[in-house]
Each structure stands twice: as structure tokens, then as C-alpha cells.
Amino acid sequence: MKTITFNQIKTSSIALEFDEVIPDNIYTWDNSDFDAYQVPIGNSRFPITDFFDIVIEGEAESPAEVKMVLNGDYGRVKYIGCKMSAGEIIVNGNADLHAGAEMSGGKVTVHGNVEAHAGREMSGGKLEIMGNTKEFCGASYIGEWRGMTGGEIIVHGNAGKQCGECLTGGSIHVLGDCDILAGIHMTKGVIEIDGNVNRWPGGQMKNGNIIIHGKVGRLLEGFVEQGIVTDPEVQGKVYPGKYIEYKGDIALNGKGALYIDAEKNRDRLSTWIEEDDEYNAIRVYREQ
Amino acid sequence: MEYILKNGIVYDPQNEINGETMDIFIKDDQIAESVSDDAKVIDVSNKIVMPAGVDVHAHVAGPKLVLGRLYRPEDSRMGVSQKTKIERAEAGFSIPCCPTTGYRYSRMGYGTVCEAAMPPLEAKHTHEEIATIPNIDINPVTLFGNNWFCMEYAREGRIEEMAAYIAAMLRVSKGYGVKIVNPCGSEAWGWGQNVHGYDDKAPYFDVTSRQLVVALAKANEMLGLPHSIHIHPNDLGHPGNYPTTVETLKSIKEIKKSTKKAAKIRDQTVHNTHLQFHAYDGTSWKDASSGADKVADFINHNDYVTGDVGQVTFDETTTMTADAPMEYDLFQISGLKWANKDIECETAAGIIPCIYSPKTPVGTLQWAIGLELFLLVDNPWQICMSTDHPNAGPFIRYPRIISWLMSAPRRMEMIENGEVHKWSHKRTGLAGLDREYDFYEIATITRAAPAKIHGFPDRGALTPGYKADIAVYDVNPNDFDPSRNPEMVERIFTSAAYTIKDGQILVKDGDLVATKPSHVIWTDVKGWEREEAQVLNEMMPFFTQYYSVKWENYQVHDHFLSNPIKVEVPAK
Amino acid sequence: MSYEPPVTDYDYIVENCTCAFCGCNCDDLDFLVKDNHVVAVRHACRLGASKVMEDLDQRLMVPMVRNEEGVLTETDWDTALDTAAEYIANSIRPVFYGWSETSTECMKEGLELGEYIGAVLDNQATICHGPSLQAMQNAGYPIQTLGEVKNRADVVVYSGSNAMNSHPRHLARWAVYPRGYFRQRGRFDRTVVTMDPKFSDTAKCSDMWIGFEQNGDYGFYNAIRAVIKGKKLQSESVSGIPAEDIYELVDVMKNAEFGVLFFGLGLTHTLGKQRNIDIAIKMVQDLNAMSKWGLTPMRGHFNVNGFNIFMAFETGWAFGVDFCRGWGRYMLGETNTIDLLVRKEPDCFMVVAADPGAHFPNGANQHLADIPVIQVDIHWGPSTELADVVLPGSFISVECAGTSYRMDGVPIYMKKAIDKPETCRDDEWIIRELKERVMKLREETNVAEKYVPNPIMDLKRLEKEE
């Protein structure tokens, strides 16, 4: 096991790019390699040791035996763990764009907030974010219709817009709230949201599953109510509780399933609407 | 600069040189009989020397290419490489950006490419792109197959006016020849429809596809253009379309080839492009099978026809064609993002990403039909290498196709070990074909024949006085069995040992060592000025009313031409 | 507006000039020239005419450099160019922004410089139709030339676009009023629909006005798609529009012989952004199964589309292309000007024929105030106040020729009508000079020793699909 600890000395307003500093490349590196390595910043490269005090402990035979510990503020360090296939990266602080993007294995943990594109096009491994993340978490590259295909993303805070865009596999679990259009264009996989969703979950989804435990704001016309289900089983996992099940997005003959918590979203139930006095009163008023 | 390519093993089909060891002399930008003592000697002993490649049909520049690049950033990302001192950063796989296109053709030993579809309204754009592509010469052919004026001339049988119109439009758009795509069909697409078969009419235009094609062929021969009509017939990609293809070709039979000088180089009066897409039997995809044997049989008995294949290469690519209704059909099947571009009074184009997988029945059937056509057409001068880039696959796959053509065992291996779907042998005759191309035939289908078909008087051969466009490949054909080494074949044709363009060494050992600006080749018809003025005068009120630009701004100004090579055609 | 008698006092007329204002690129303008000055413009709309005629209003005439006291002072070309070149040569994260009001010939020089130094090249699409480009990258792009609209269209929809005010001749030349080949009665042969929360001037001359609520675009289009698929709506109204109105609208759309959707920033910049266009494109694709439909984004500047097209054929991406590592990268939120500025990354900013000072959000402009800004433009504007070096260019299509691309992608060669002021230079010349000077000052960045082909090209990408 080899532990490489990066202790930040100074930050840069222009982002550092860490796509070359992943376990797959650096498992054989010793201090002299890091001394010689220049990290890309903008159109130039600068010694990585200008920015970090790097401590190496232990030996590694393969990338899987590498543990990178990143201490400090990495809010301007892009591509942490991008394209990694094995090993572990722990960020004690915030991370910039593309954390864990295109990773195929290993684990990235961020004890802070992460910028956009976290876990973009992941095909394996695990990305855990203790804070919030921004747009396009677990999304695809722009124009690409095949997004994240495998692996797992766990966001303990909130996720931004278009979380799990074009999801084609794997799972995303957001423990906080989710902004608009979670799971847009998704074709496979699972998105679970513990918090509330303000608008339009599952826009233009073809297939796959979205489970929302919180309150849903606006729902799209493309979703058709299927009725109430109890303890539904989705891809081998049981989600306890009562849910309203929707199918959609019907606008493109989608077969996706959207489960939203029945208790918190009572007002959505067509049966509830029929017995709700206030709602009926409005309808009668409108018809006049 | 003078060079001697010493001791190469030369394949030059136009001069009937088949694997002779000889020296090639280069003086400045031309091949020479001899050179002075100052000439630099390049030792190419035990290496293959061929004229530089000529691509008979590809889509490399123009509005629909850029639409593809605009809307497929994920394709651009697939082919990125870092810039070097010599070349700019590359990008793109199936639709590489312009500089990349030039570099990759150069590395394969190519020198000339035909851009196969240029709409006159956006010809300036095509020329801007051509000027951006380095290293290769490009002759763009202008689209006439759905042109409103041509449809009217064909309906009224006014061949002479049509010829004058073509002459004028070639000058306006700086085009090389007459391209026809899905005649009448793309006009029907203006209303979301298509034509079915060769005798169908476009809505509101009382003219059939047959009338239009025959009229254009007659006009082409009347002018005596260097290239024949270049046609993509109706019903592309539909099962059971081979009769349409044969009908189309048959209808040209009676038309006499021009006896004028510019038209002398070629033998054909019609070039049918990407035949593979036009050689399907059956009635639907359920019972589709190969019609390659029928199409090949027709070509074998009719020497006025040439074609190129449009070989499927099993890649994720981008299909783009002026056959817009067909692209919408494809979109309905695949559901992937669909782009379309209709151009007023002229044409339409559709684009979608397409994945040809060896595991799917349809893709495999297309792959097998393409190979069948290569193997069933007896005369290699009548069938050319193409993938209809990027439609059936990117042009960088030509070496792979060559490896399939040179190795019957490789083809059988693919069929037998299940690398390709079983439709490849269940529904085609590919498994029964053991013909293998030799280097001489490869040289024919990749350089000599395409140059002859396009009527180039200055390339496609190693004749003294021709352009010094030469490719050298690092293999000794005398102690190498391509049949047993398909991977090696692919490798040697992927990176040329030398690519020489206009007497300048651009590639050495597969690496680019220099770049140069491209030439654009266009046809200037002389002697029709009075007729041209007359038709323009006649069409001008219509143009002013129904086009969206002014006539002055419609024409391609000399400003846009990149080192033009003007082919003058004294038509009268 | 009072009556203005026609201008009769002029030396000569230059015909078929192109208007350098909006994305319509009207190429039928006649310039009336007197004493090397355009005194009147025929055929242009008021926007275009005033831009052409008042070309000397607040015109930047002389190069300027900001001195140590922070005051812009006039200087000679050499000093100004050297100062600018030095800023660029010393930068680590340069951004070259703008380009939409200059020619592709000028862009070519700019791109060479950008690739050499490793800059981000971006244009106004990043703040206007960028979402449209992103959407077409996701969903597709069924477009047609404007002549097709004139000749065929019988249903024209403006969504989130007030063409009457922003592209005044759009309705007159192509979409609404003209007599086309299959629409000989002009306006009477067309149904015009405006979808806009505002009862705009375009809505006033439309047959239908759909005033859906702000930020309701995505939900509204989703409902339209569902209705096209034959579904009955669950709610009585969607985004504030009663269900029966949606049925009626879909009926009109489905029965069109040739329909066109024109959309503007009202669609690209409300909640959902690129996804609003995404779903609108999908709607157009659905409609093609039963009718013939196309769409066109209402591009703003006359060459904003030109930059996207130019960049696509030169580099493979349309806008926001980052060359800092020696190859092209295009990534939403990472290589776009606003994101970079708000993140305070750029350390040198060149603005060519654009006015970020007027258009950018405050956070972005704040950073511009902190870093060297080089302005290449013809008019004084808020960006001049931010600029450290000002290089006065020339007016494309009036004083200088060049190529531009209309909103539908039709290229137009804009010719020169008069001479530029003596102290100004052509944009193309300025950028070329800058390029040459930067090349002397700094070695090319991030050049690879040897060409390394991208390994992905040889991988069978099909595996991902299976």
C-alpha cells in the first residue's frame, strides 16, 4: 500500500489540471518523479511541488494499491481522479470540475463541495461527495447520448441541474435536494433522491428508474400515473414505503418509471383530487 | 527540386506497369523523363511505389460536413491529438475537421479527393473549407439532381439550355462536374415526401427521375465535361432497390459519350456512386438479401458504367447525404439525433450518427454486399474504393478494406468465427468468393481508375509530365503474402513510407514532415458564352423572386479559391 | 417619425451591399455614397441603415493604451500593437472573445494566434445562442435556408423571439409577407403563430398568440409533444395555457404543409436553457413524421453563425474551444467565457468586435476590470472603458470586405463600398500583426515532440454500445 499525501502550500486562481496525477500513472512515482513533474496550468506548466508538499509512504505494485490524500482547498484543481481505473483518492476539502469523470474503477471521496461534471461518464467505481455538487453530476459529454454507464455516485448534499443526464447505467443517490431535470434523456440506471425536487424530473427519459422520497414540484405532462405501489423493487433493490408510480416520458414513448413518495405528494393523486374540496371549488369556478 | 526514387517496385496501372523495379524521376512538381545530376536520390528499393491515391467520392468539405461537426462534438473529441511543430491539433473521427482531413489522407498516401456534393448556394462555404484542408487537391462536384431549373429543362426537353445552365453553374459555383443525388427525391423531401422508383415524379414538378437523369447525362455529354454524370440513384438503402439501380444505369445506355478532348480520358458515361447502398434484394429488412450479383452482372456487361462501392467498415460514423428523406427514415429507426438541411431550389441534406456493428444483421449484410461488389465486378477499372466517407465508414479505414480484399482467409475467418453476424453468408454469396486482389488491382481501384473516371489529365499515373503525386509503401511484394498477413497490409497502407505531393515530400515513414495548401480543381466550359448569357437572362426574374440572395452574392468570388486548377473545356 | 424626403445628393450608388447588423445579412442594400461617406441606405431596416450611416458616431479612430494613471491615451500603431502583444505573450490563460462582427478572414488569423499561444476562443454564442448549439448537439438540427421558408412555408412559429423588433426584415423578406413559389398570395397563404409571454410586436401581426408563462417553456413543449403523440392532457392547463388551446395549436402544426419554428433568446435563456431548445427540436422531429417541419435559431449578430461554422470546420467545435493544452477542448461550464471570468481564471482578455462591457454579467465584468483587456473594435462602448489597449478596426461590409454566414448558414461575401478612415486598420491586419508580434515574443506553447494518434480511434467504440 502506498499513501501519497498532497499538502497544499499555495493555491492558484487559474485551475491546475490533475488528469495526469491519477493512481494509474503515479503508482511507481517517488519523490524525484514529483520533483520533476510539472502540472498543467492554463497554457503553461509549473512544478507541482510549488503548490503541494508531497509525502509518500509505502510501496505499490499496481494502481490499486495507491491511496492519494489531498489536503487543502482543491476548488481550483480540475480533473481529480479523471479516467482512473483503480486506487483511492480522498479529498479533504472542495474539488473542482470533473472530479471522478470517466473513471472506470477505484474510489474518490470528497469531503467538501464539488463543482460541475462530477462523475461525468463514469463506467465503474465509486464517487462519494460529502457536500453539494453542481450541474451535470453523472452526466454525459455534450452531444454524447451515452452517459454514465456504471459505478455509483453518492451525494450527501444537494445536486444541481440535470443530474444524471443521459444516464445509461449505474446509480446516483442524492441525499439532499435535486434541481430541475434530474435524469433527463436517461435510458437505464437508477437515480434516488431523498430530498425535494423542484421541477420536471425525468424529462424525455426513455427508460430507467427515478425514485424521489421528497416533495416534487412540477411534473411533466409526459408522465402518466400508474397508481400507488407499496415497497417497489427496482433493479433488485426494495424501496420501502408507498409511492405513486408514473410511466414516461410518453412524449417519446418512453418506458421509464418515476416513483414519488405518496404521502408527501398527496396532492398529485388523481383520487385525492376528486375528494379535495378546495380543488373542486377551483375547478367549478373555472368552468363557469 | 529534383528527386530520384530509386529501385522501387512500381505499380502504375495506367501505364500497365505491374511490379517492375524501376526509378521514378521528379523535377519540381512533375514526373520527369530524366533529371540532372543534382537530383536527390531517395532509396526505395524493396518498397512499393504507386501514384498517390485518388479518392473517387468522399464528403470532406461543405455545409453538411460542418453541420455534422457542429452537432457532434463527441465525434470531434474522439480523434484529438496534440499539435506539433508541423501539424495543428487534430480532432474528429468520422468527420474530422479540415486540417485533420488533409493530414490523414496524406499519411495514407493520397493526393486527390473528390468532394462529392456541393450545393451552389453554399458553394462559397465548400470552397472556404477546401482552402482550409491542406495537402490534398479537391475537385468538388456540383449538385444538379434536384435543381428546379434543371427539372424544368428536363420536363421541356431543352437539353441545350440545360447544358448552358450547367456550364454557367459550374463557373458560378466553381465546380468540377455534375452530381445527381436521389433525383426528384430531395425536392419531394421539401414536402416531407420521397420518390419511389425511377419513374416517380416530384410533387408539383411534372418530371420523373428518369427524364431528369437522362437529360443531365445528355447535357453532360453535349458539353463534353471531363467527368461523366456522377449519380446516387433513387431508393438508397431500401431493400429491393437493385432494380431501380439497374434501371437507372440502363437508361443511360443509348447516350453516346462525347468525342471532345476533355471527355476522352474516361470510358464511362455514368458513374454510380456507393453501389453497396443500391444493391439490395428483398422487400423489407426482414427478408432483405444481396442484389450485388445482379448489379455486378450488369456492370460486367456494360462498359459505359463505372461505380464505387461505399464499403461499410463497422465503425461508429456519421451518415450524411443529400438524400434527406432516407436520413429521416434512418432517424426513425435509430432515434439518434437527426440533422437536416434543405437548400432552396437546389437540394436537401440529412445527417445522423450511425453505428455499423458487426453483430447486427443489417450492418453485416451491408458489409458483405460491399465486398461482394468488389469481388464480383470483373474489371477493376469499373469499380473503385470508397466508403462514401463518412457514410459507410471514415476514409481512414481504406487500408482495412484493402486487407479484406487481399485476403480471402481473413474474410472467411470473420464469417466462420462469428466475428460478423450470420447474415453475412446466409443472405449473400460472400462466403463462396475466393477472389483476392493483388497490388496491381489495388493500385487500380485506389488511384488509376478513380483518376481516369474523373478524367484527370495530370494525375493517377507516373507518366512523365504528370503531377509528381506519389506514394511509397514499405513492403516488398515479392516476399510478402498479403493473403496471410491482413493486419500487416492494413498497417502498410495506413502509414505511407513516403507521400509526395507536387514534388514535395509531405510524409516520411508515416509521419507528416511538411504541409502545403491544397488546390481546388474546377471546370471552365468555353464557347457557350452566348447560350449561357441567354439562359441566365431567362432565369434571372425567377432567381430574383425566389432565391434569398442576390445574383451577385450567389457567385463564388475568386477570393474563395485556393490555388485553383482550371480545367478548360472547349465545348464547341 | 416624420417624413424624410429621399436623399438625392450623392456621388454614386453601390448596389447589393450586405447589411452588417443582424443575422438576416440582407444582401440587397444600396449604399448612396457622397465624399467617401454613406449618406443613405436603400432597402435596409432602420436598425441596419442607422448602423451603416452613423459609422462615424463615437468611432474609435486612433490606437490607445491605458497609461499608468489609468487614462486611455492616444498612441501610434506600433506602440499599441507591441503593448497588446506583450500582454498576450505573457499570459497563462488568455481568452479571445467576440468575432461575431468581423469576417471569417479575420477569425482565421485569430485562431492561428489562439492555437499558437494556447488560448480559449469564444464568441457571443456563449451569451446568446450557445444553449441552442448545445441543444442541437444533444437532439439534432433540422434546418432549412430562408429561401425555403419563403417558397414553401405555410405555418411559421416565432418562439421567444420578437423578430419585428430584433430582425425587422425577417418577416418581410422570408417568413411572413413575401410571395414564394408555392405561396403566391404571401401573407394570406401563411399562418403565423407567436409563442411569447409578452404580447410583442410580432405577436400583434400574428394569427395566434400563445402567451405561456415565463420559465414554463419546457413543460409547455413537453405537453405539445405528448399531444402530438395522441395523448390527452391530464391538467386543464399547462404553463398557463388552457388544454384546448394546446390541442388547437397542435392541430395547426400537424396540418402544416411546411412549417418552420424560429426561436430566439426568449427560449434559450429561460429556466431549462438548452433543454428548452432540446425539446423544441424533438418536437420538430416528431412533426416531421406527419408533416414537414424545420427550425432556425434567430441569430443576433451578422456573423455569429459564421464564427460557429468557421470554428467547426477549423477545429471541430463551434464555440468555447480551449487550446491551452495544445489540443482542442470544448466543455460546458469550463471553456466558456462567462464561466472562466466568473471563476476569475483568465489573465488576459482580447475582445474583437464585441462589447462584453455592455452584455456580460457584473461578476464577469468585475474580473475584466482586474486583468489586461485588449479591444479591437470600431466604436467606443463600455468595453472601451475596461480596455487597456484599444485598436481601432474597420467596418466590415462598408469599409472592408469579408465573408459572413447568415443565420441559416448561407455564406455571403460582404463587399467594400468606401474607404476606411486613414488612422484605422482592417481587423484582419490587426490580428495578423498581433500574431506575428506574439510569435516573436514567446515560443509556441504545449507543442508535442511527435504526433501521437489518439488511441480511441482504433478502439471499437461499439463495445460501449453493447
* pLDDT tens digit sequence for C189-217: 999 999 999 999 999 999 999 998 888 89
Rounded-to-integer distance, Cα B392 and Cα B368, Å: 12
Could you write out the three-class secondary structure of C104-140? HHHHHHHHHHHHHHCCEEEEHHHCCCHHHHHHHHHHE
Residue C90 dihedral angles phi and psi, to the nearest 5°: -90, 5
Residue with cell string 471514415: B394
B129 and C174 within 8 Å at the Cβ level: the answer is no
- Give the length of chain A: 288
Instruction: Give the residue on C whose Cα is nearest the Cα of B126.
Output: C411
Shortest Cα–Cα distance, A83 to chain C (Å) = 13
Q: Is residue A32 part of a domain?
A: no
Task: Indicate the CATH number of C64-126+302-441 among 1.10.10.60, 3.40.50.740, 3.40.50.450, 3.90.1150.10.
Answer: 3.40.50.740
Give every strand in the sheet of B270-272, ordered side by side. Answer: B53-58, B110-118, B137-143, B178-181, B229-232, B270-272, B305-308, B383-384
* Chain C partners within 8 Å of B89 (Cβ): 115, 315, 323, 326-328
Pairing of strands C120-123, C64-66: unpaired
Cell of B533: 448569357
φ and ψ at residue B294, rounded to 5 degrees? -70, -45
Helix boundaries (H) for B174-289: 185-189, 209-223, 242-250
Chain B positions in Cβ-Cβ contact with residue A144 (cut-off 8 Å): 74
DSSP state of C373: E
Do residues C220 and C197 lie in contact, with contact meaning Cβ atoms separated by under 8 Å?
A: no
Q: Write out the three cell numbers for B385.
A: 474504393
Question: Cβ-count burial of B346 within 10 angstroms (0-12 exposed, 13-18 middle, 19+ buried)?
Answer: buried
Q: A142–B337: do the CB atoms touch at under 8 Å?
A: no
Q: Which of A16, A18, A43 to mutate to test the interface with C (most CBs of C within 10 A)?
A: A43
- Identify whether the C-beta of residue C239 lies closer than 8 Å to the C-beta of residue C219: yes
Interface touch C137/B93, C-beta < 8 Å: no
How far apart CA C143 and CA C129 sit, in angstroms, is: 15
Question: Is C141 in Cβ contact with B70 (below 8 Å)?
Answer: yes
Q: What separation, in Å, do the N-terminal and C-terminal C-alpha atoms of chain C show?
A: 66
Coil vs helix vs strand at B474: coil
The answer to whether the CB atoms of B97 and C460 lie below 8 A apart is no
Task: Retrieve residue B391's grid coordinates.
Answer: 457514410
List chain A residues with CB under 8 Å of C222.
200, 203-204, 220-222, 249, 251
How does pLDDT run across B217-252, given as a tens digit for each residue? 999 999 999 999 999 999 999 999 999 999 999 999
Strands (DSSP E) found in B424-548: 470-473, 498-501, 504-508, 511-512, 521-526
Question: What is the pLDDT at residue B236?
Answer: 92
Residue-level pLDDT at A250 = 87
| Residue C247 parent element (H or E) | helix C243-254
Q: Which domain holds residue A160?
A: 11-23+62-263
In a domain, A195, yes or no: yes
Question: Which among A115, A141, A221 is the top mutation candidate for probing chain C, defined by the most C β-carbons within 10 Å of its own β-carbon?
Answer: A221
Residues of chain B in contact with residue A141, where contact means CB-CB under 8 angstroms, are 73-74, 77
Give the span between the Cα atoms of A136 and A114, in whole angstroms: 11
Task: Name the minimum distance, in Å, from the CA of A143 to any CA of chain B.
Answer: 6
Domain count, chain A: 1
Distance CA A49, CA A56 (A): 13
Beta strands (DSSP E) in A111-241 are 126-129, 152-155, 168-174, 188-193, 197-199, 209-212, 216-218, 224-230, 233-234, 237-238
Domain extents in chain C: 12-53, 64-126+302-441, 130-297
Residue C67 CB-density burial (10 A; 0-12 exposed, 13-18 middle, 19+ buried):
exposed
pLDDT attached to residue C459: 53
Cβ within 8 Å of B, C 441-460: 444, 446-454, 456-457, 460
Task: Give the Cα-Cα-Cα angle A197, A198, A204 (nearest 5 degrees).
Answer: 80
State how far the Cα of B354 lies from the Cα of C265, in Å rounded to an integer: 32
Q: How far is B183 from chain A (nearest CA, A)?
A: 32
Of B331, B546, B550, the CB nearest to C147: B546
Q: How many CB atoms lie within 10 A of CB C86?
A: 17
How far, in Å, CA of B487 to CA of B482, rounded? 9
Asked whether B81 and B396 are in contact (CB, 8 A), the reply is no
CATH class for the domain made up of C130-297: alpha beta
For A70, phi then psi, to 5°, come to -110, 110
C-alpha cell at A263: 404521502
Residue with more model confidence, B329 or C438: C438
pLDDT at C383: 94
Using only C-alpha atoms, chain A has a radius of gyration, in whole angstroms, of 22
Calpha distance B269→B249 (Å, rounded): 10
Structure-block grid coordinates of residue C242:
388552457
* Nearest Cβ partner for B339 among C16, C140, C182: C140
Phi, psi of C10 (to 5 degrees): -150, 160
3-state DSSP assignment of residue C402: strand
Phi first, then psi: what are they for A60, rounded to 5°?
-135, 135
pLDDT at residue C57, rounded to an integer: 84
Residue B434 burial class via C-beta count within 10 angstroms: exposed 0-12, middle 13-18, buried 19 and up: exposed
| Residue (of C400, C419, C392) closest to C81 by Cα position | C392
Q: Which three cell numbers stand for residue C252?
A: 395547426
Cα–Cα distance for residue pair B218/B234, rounded to 1 Å: 19
For residue B121, give the chain C residue with the closest CA. C410
Instruction: Tell if the CB–CB gap between C234 and A221 is shorter than 8 Å.
Output: yes
Q: Is the dihedral of CA C10, C16, C18, C23 positive or negative?
A: positive
Q: Does B333 touch chain A (CB under 8 A)?
A: no
DSSP at B239: T
Q: How high is the pLDDT of residue A275? A: 59
Cell of A278: 378546495
* Stretch among A133-137, B271-275, B318-322, C19-23 having the lowest mean pLDDT: B318-322
- Domain assignment present for residue A282? The answer is no
- The tens-digit pLDDT sequence of chain A (288 residues) is 999 999 999 999 999 999 999 999 999 999 999 999 999 999 999 999 999 999 999 999 999 999 999 999 999 999 999 999 999 999 999 999 999 999 999 999 999 999 999 999 999 999 999 999 999 999 999 999 999 999 999 999 999 999 999 999 999 999 999 999 999 999 999 999 999 999 899 999 999 999 999 999 989 989 998 989 999 999 999 999 999 999 988 888 889 999 999 999 988 877 666 655 555 566 666 665
Distances (CA, A) of B460 to B49, B110, B396, B522: 12, 10, 20, 17
The answer to whether the CB atoms of C16 and B339 lie below 8 A apart is no
Q: How do strand A168-174 and strand A126-129 relate by DSSP bridges?
A: unpaired
CA B9 – CA B46 distance, rounded (Å): 6
Neighbours of chain C (3+ CB pairs under 8 A): A, B
Give one DSSP letter per residue of B387-398, joined into a string. -TTTTSS-GGGH
Given a cut of 70, the residues of chain C with pLDDT beneath it are: 1, 457-466
Searching chain C, which residue's CA lies closest to the CA of residue B510? C451
DSSP, res B64: H
Residue in C151, C308, C448 nearest the CB of B82: C448
Do C222 and A251 make contact, defined as CB atoms within 8 angstroms? yes
Q: How many residues does chain B have?
A: 572
Q: What was the pLDDT predicted at C462?
A: 41
Put simply, the answer to whether B97 touches C315 (Cβ < 8 Å) is yes
**Pair B108, B77: CB distance under 8 Å:** no
Angle at the Cα of B455 (from B454 to B458), degrees rounded to 5? 110
